[in-house]
Amino acid sequence: MRLPLCFFMTARSFVLSLGLLTAFVYIPAFAQPAAVKVGLIVPLSGPWARQGQVMRQGAELAIKHINTQGGIAALGGAPMELLVFDAGDSVERAKNAAQRMVADEPDLVGAAGAYLSSFTLAVTEVTERASLSMLTLSYSDLLTTRGFYYVFQTSASGAYQSTNALPILLDIATAASGARPKTIAIVMDNTAASVAFVAPIKEGSALKDNNLELVVDEVFTPPLANATSLIQRVRAARPDLLLLLPTTVSDSKLLLEKMNEFGLGRGKLPTVSNGSAMGDPDLLQNMPAALLEGVMSVVGNWSLRGQEGIIEEYKNISGEPWMTQNALSEYGHMWLLKEALELAGVADKKAVAEALHKMDISNGAASYFPGNRVRFAADGKRIDAQLLVIQWQNGVPVSVYPDATAMQKIKWPAP
Amino acid sequence: MMILKRDLLHIMLFCVGYAALAALVGNSYYLLIMTLVPVWAVMGLSWNLFSGYSGLVSFGHAAFFGVGAYTVALTLQIWQLSPWYSLVLAGLLGGFGGLLVGLPTFRLRGHYFALAMLAYPLVMLYIFEWLGYQEVALMMMRERPFAFMQFENPQVYVYLAVVLLALALVVTAILARSRFGMSLLAIKQNEEAAEAAGIDTRYWKLLALCISAAMAGTVGGFYAVVLLVVTPFAVFGMLVSAQALVIAMFGGAGTLWGPVLGAVILVPLSEILHAYYGAKVPGIQGVIYGFAVIAVIIYAPDGLIWKLRAFFGARQTPLPASSVAGLHTKGSASLLACGVEANAAEFILEVKQLQKSFGGLQAIDNLSFNVKRGELLGIIGPNGAGKTTLFNLLNGFVQPDSGSIEFEGASLLKLKPNKICRRGIARTFQVAKPFPRLSLFDNVVIGAYGASHNNNQACMLAGAALQLVGLQDSAHNLPAQLSNRELRLMELARALAANPKLILVDEIFAGLDPESVQVVEQVLRKVTALGITVVIIEHSMKTMVQLVARFVVLDHGALLATGIPQDIVRNPKVIEAYLGKKWLAHAQAH
């Protein structure tokens, strides 16, 4: 068997470069404690590259802040160093990247990633076997039901979101408008995320429990060619609340344009979506901000009150118009790893995992996560994970719930 | 058998060497890549076994791969079935999937077949999404990891992958070096000619797809074991089918080692590009990878393995069938002689009131004629008279609208061409289409499959046929080295190798120089001397007058005249049909 030459060359040049690297860092090593390495594994190529890029910028900003604020005090001010791995465009690539991360960087103490939940599933199979803690914003409940010790889910899980979203929305409506919605319309595509989100509403007893009547129930297969009949039905039924669950930008645009045309847009009909895609800056490249005005979305994390400084700096560095869930979560993950290192007092991955399990903080790093408290259950779910609601106001999606940390007050049209 | 043994030795050396290399590697990342190389090599071999050999392009092998992967993942999730067993199940289900897909899809040909294949994985993808299997994780078995194919030591996965690769290679080698591989190659070359040569093309295609799909299913199951997470896009996605195709074509489709070469180069290349440049210049890996594939397709369209062979000056590729039983090129022509029973009927073929129209065109119009046993009958007529359509009706490519065709007293209607060939009617084609990478001898052996029960017998028949047409000394040559005359004779030999009682010869003299015409004439006389009945189509009357015993003249699909050559050349109707009324007067004046 003959392996291609490049295979050997890479292995050799890798060893060589490792040697050179060691030589270079040798001298400064006297001056300050060795850097503590953490990993970030996100898609930097392929269709999800933009989200991965945003996550990387968030993590890099956190590392910069941690190091300028004196590094890890418990380790004599050791700086943190971020190593980034490209999870690519497929589960296989993501797994390969994770394997490379644990094989080539045995002294990593923790990692974060990997955006898509299927990627995170594959990556955590590797990190679990390598005893490396993995912090993730992925929603999938499967992540924390495999009996893994080294996975930490900081967002509210999918099941939590779908069961709690409706009661929260009704509470918001009641508080904002004084009247509890009695009718609801659902217009959704048939993708997995949308189907999972409405499952407890359609199949469970959520409607009955909340005295709600489902007046429109429309499911379409993306991509949508024409949204007229869908929106006509919504207008005819005049619901108190619309759950609008498209997944692609083109479908969102068609639906919102049609709503605007029928006089339901710009916040006249309370419209709620799910997921951070409805708050993505990319939307503005495809439709005017006016169309999005008033649209709400249920998300796992978003920029909150008190983070204005970070957001401003992030905007300057990244060129992004605002800080999304993806960027903020990775910013927070780096701070959580820093916190765990302080608790562990040693740059060791197993000690870091133990510290994460023991952690119970309500300040510092905890302020980057809704609920403002970070402690993990044995399965890795964050106990205090909460939902956030964002709303497009004046061309920017801002957090409007929970009130304690919301950037703006919610704008709910009077019934 | 020699070549097969050599193949098996190569396979053993390669696999042992690969495993030994894995034993030296400690880095778990390199070991993972070393696991994925054989996985994709098997997938390439699976695609190759079907598409590489048969020439029917499949864009849908992900369907079988995905079925295998989900079989392993779901049986583990639902019944805690160990992959040690479910891998076998994955192969069986994959093969069954091949059968289900093949039965309807083989009604289509060419691009339509390829497009239909493209649809299957897409359908599966949506079905599995709809079933709610967006993400299925293979549970971590902490108690008895070995029983569930979960190992601490990543080297074990490499060894398992190598075992799968060895199995796939052995299966491919055995099949390719047998009648199976030759039949598929014949189908690839010219499906109609293969069918006419007695090869049951539908049967072989189905068998090839089933075995290939079983391979894909098994390796898909193993992929799930390696990846531990199965999603519809990861196993039914377009990239899976494309990867199988690219790997096989890059290395060399229709060869044993091509897909292995493809996987050994492409899998690590794309991964290394991804690993070392992906985070620095996102996307650059796809660009470089794409250019590498384009470059190979431009400079080595048949695959890298042929270029490598040429570069290293390797010997001529082993020729499939000749390897099976050794060369019997010096077979005795008398092997092909037709024993005629004493009480046999005078007519070997009787055609009655045959009708065939294509839309408004009446191609064959109420045609009746007989062929006497052992005669050399010429069917002539101007261009468009319906001669080739008649042959197509006689050997089953086209079914008549009405009328009857009886061969030795039994009807041929509704029989497939390969069945008609097995009854004893062989044909040659107007345009010879040899398979360029097979020797002359192997081109002829393909024709012998319908009439033989084993490879040895096929080689004997092929040898006899070559002896009869006088090409025994060029048996090892490739078609590119043959003259036009030799190609025509090869075509004739391929028909003769089917050991026919009746042979339909389609315009064998077209474009031959006078000397060649004489040689071919001699051969045809020798054929009739063996008791084989010959029916020959020709539009030029000149050469035929000397050769045939009797003429059947067609015009506009109808019988114009029949009789001995001397009468036919003076028949006014024939002269008019060929030359027009003006020339009829001229001819009569003389």
Confidence class for position B324, pLDDT limits 50, 70, 90:
very low
pLDDT of residue B327: 43
Domain ranges for chain A: 19-156+306-368, 159-299+388-401
To test the contact with chain A by mutation, choose from B135, B152, B156, B260 the residue with the greatest count of A C-beta atoms within 10 A, namely: B135
Sheet holding A213-220: strands in order across?
A213-220, A183-189, A241-245, A271-274, A296-299, A388-393, A396-401
CATH number at A159-299+388-401 = 3.40.50.2300
Do A23 and B264 meet the contact criterion of CB atoms below 8 Å apart?
no
pLDDT of B135 higher than 90: no
Q: What is the DSSP letter of B203?
A: H
Shortest alpha-carbon distance between residue B146 and chain A (Å)? 15
Task: Strands of A17-149 (E only): list them.
Answer: 36-42, 80-86, 108-113, 134-136
The answer for residues whose C-beta is within 8 angstroms of residue A80's C-beta and 6 or more apart is A35, A36, A37, A38, A63, A66, A67, A71, A72, A334, A337, A338, A341
d(CA A140, CA B132): 13
User: Is residue B1 scored above 90 in pLDDT?
Assistant: no
Mark out chain A residues that contact chain B at CB-CB < 8 A: 1-4, 6-7, 10-11, 44-46, 49, 53, 84-86, 88, 90-93, 95-97, 99-100, 102-104, 117-118, 121-122, 125, 128-129, 140, 142, 146-148, 192
pLDDT tens sequence for chain A (415 residues): 344 444 444 555 554 454 444 444 444 444 578 899 999 999 998 888 888 999 999 999 999 999 999 999 999 999 999 999 999 888 999 999 999 999 999 999 999 989 888 899 999 999 999 999 999 998 888 899 889 999 999 999 888 888 888 888 999 889 888 888 999 999 998 777 788 788 878 887 888 888 899 999 999 887 888 999 999 999 999 999 999 999 888 899 999 999 999 988 887 899 999 988 889 888 888 889 989 999 999 998 898 888 888 999 999 998 899 998 999 999 999 999 999 999 999 999 999 999 999 999 998 899 899 888 999 999 999 999 988 999 999 999 999 988 888 889 998 876 5
Superfamily of domain A19-156+306-368: Response regulator (3.40.50.2300)
Sequence-distant (6+) residues with CB within 8 A of B310 are none
Beta-bridge mates of residue A397: A392
Selecting from B227, B268, B279 the residue whose C-beta is nearest the C-beta of A92 gives B227
CB contact under 8 A, A45 and B283: yes
Q: What is the least distance, in Å, from the CA of B139 to any CA of chain A?
A: 7
Residue whose pair of structure tokens reads 């079988």 in the numeric block? B64
pLDDT at A266: 80
pLDDT the model gives residue B321: 41
Task: Say yes or no: do domains A19-156+306-368 and A159-299+388-401 share a fold.
Answer: yes
| Binding-face residues of B in 397-436 toward A, CB within 8 A | none
Interatomic CA distance for residues B151 and A127, integer angstroms: 15
Both tokens assigned to A393: 């106001």
pLDDT of residue B134: 82
Amino acid at the residue A245: L
For chain B, which domains are there? 2-318 (1.10.3470), 333-407+433-589 (3.40.50.300)
The pLDDT value given to residue A161? 87
Single-letter code of the amino acid located at B90:
A
Rounded to a whole number of angstroms, the distance from the CA of B76 to the nearest CA of chain A is 13
* Percent of chain B with pLDDT strictly greater than 90: 34
Q: Which of A84, A128, A142 sits opposite B279 (nearest CB)?
A: A84
The CA-atom distances, in angstroms, between B132 and each of A193, B74, B232 are: 11, 12, 10
Q: ∠ CA B344-B345-B347 to the nearest 5 degrees?
A: 130
Residues 31-60 of B with CB under 8 A from A: 32-33, 36
Contact B274 A96 (CB under 8 A): yes
Q: Which of A6, A49, A122 has its CB closest to that of B227?
A: A122
The pLDDT score that the predictor gives to residue A13 is 53
Averaged pLDDT score across all residues of chain B: 86
- What confidence score (pLDDT) does residue A4 get? 47
- pLDDT, one tens digit per residue, over B353-373 is 999 998 888 889 999 999 998
pLDDT, one tens digit per residue, over B4-43 is 888 999 999 999 999 999 999 989 999 999 999 999 999 9
The pLDDT assigned to B293 comes to 80
Cis before A114? omega within 30: yes
Q: Which of A6, A84, A192 sits opposite B129 (nearest CB)?
A: A192
What percentage of chain B reaches a pLDDT higher than 70? Answer: 92
**Residue B536, CB half-sphere, CA atoms under 13 Å: how many?**
31
Residue of A nearest to B224 (CA): A92
pLDDT of residue B368: 92
Cβ-count burial B305-334 (b if 16+ within 10 Å, e if not) = bbeebeeeeeeebebbbbbbbebbbebebe
Tell me the pTM: 0.82
Beta carbons of A6 and B268 less than 8 Å apart? yes
- Report the candidate in B105, B22, B30, B35 with the shortest Cα–Cα distance to residue B64: B105
B265 and A CB contact within 8 Å = yes
Inspect the interface and report whether the beta carbons of A117 and B135 lie closer than 8 Å.
Answer: yes
Inter-chain CB proximity A3 and B264 less than 8 Å: yes
Phi, then psi, of A396 in degrees rounded to 5: -135, 135
Nearest chain B CA: its distance from A195 CA (Å)? 9
Name the residue of chain A whose CA is nearest to B142's CA: A147
* Cβ B183 vs Cβ B199: under 8 Å: yes
pLDDT value of residue A99: 95
Residue of A11, A92, A125 with shortest CB distance to B234: A92
Residue A411 CB neighbours (<10 A) = 15
What integer pLDDT is reported at residue A106 of this predicted model? 93
- Please check whether residue B431 is in contact with residue B508, taking contact to mean a CB–CB distance below 8 angstroms: no
Q: Which amino acid, residue A127?
A: T
Interface with chain A: mutation pick from B158, B274, B284, B285, highest number of A CBs within 10 Å: B274
Residue B384 has pLDDT above 60, yes or no: yes
Q: Is B127 on the interface with A (CB under 8 A)?
A: no
Residues ≥6 apart with Cβ < 8 Å to A96: A88, B29, B32, B33, B36, B271, B274, B275
Extract the tokens encoding A140.
Answer: 């999938």
pLDDT digits (tens, 9 = 90+) for B542-576: 778 888 889 999 888 888 889 888 888 888 888 88
pLDDT value at position B333?
Answer: 63
What string of DSSP letters covers B277-295?
HTTTSTTHHHHHHHHHHHH
- Give me the pLDDT at residue A237, please: 93
Pairing between strand B361-372 and B410-411?
Answer: unpaired
d(CA B155, CA B35): 8
Rg of chain B over CA atoms, in angstroms? 29
DSSP 3-state of B590: coil
Q: What integer pLDDT is reported at residue A293 of this predicted model?
A: 92
| pLDDT tens figures, B443-500 | 888 888 777 777 778 888 888 888 888 888 888 888 888 888 888 899 899 889 888 8
Interchain contact B292–A (C-beta under 8 A): no
Q: Which pLDDT belongs to residue A341?
A: 96
**Average pLDDT rounded to a whole number, residues B150-164:** 94
Specify the 3-state DSSP secondary structure of A389: strand
d(CA B66, CA B123): 11
**pLDDT value of position B421:** 87
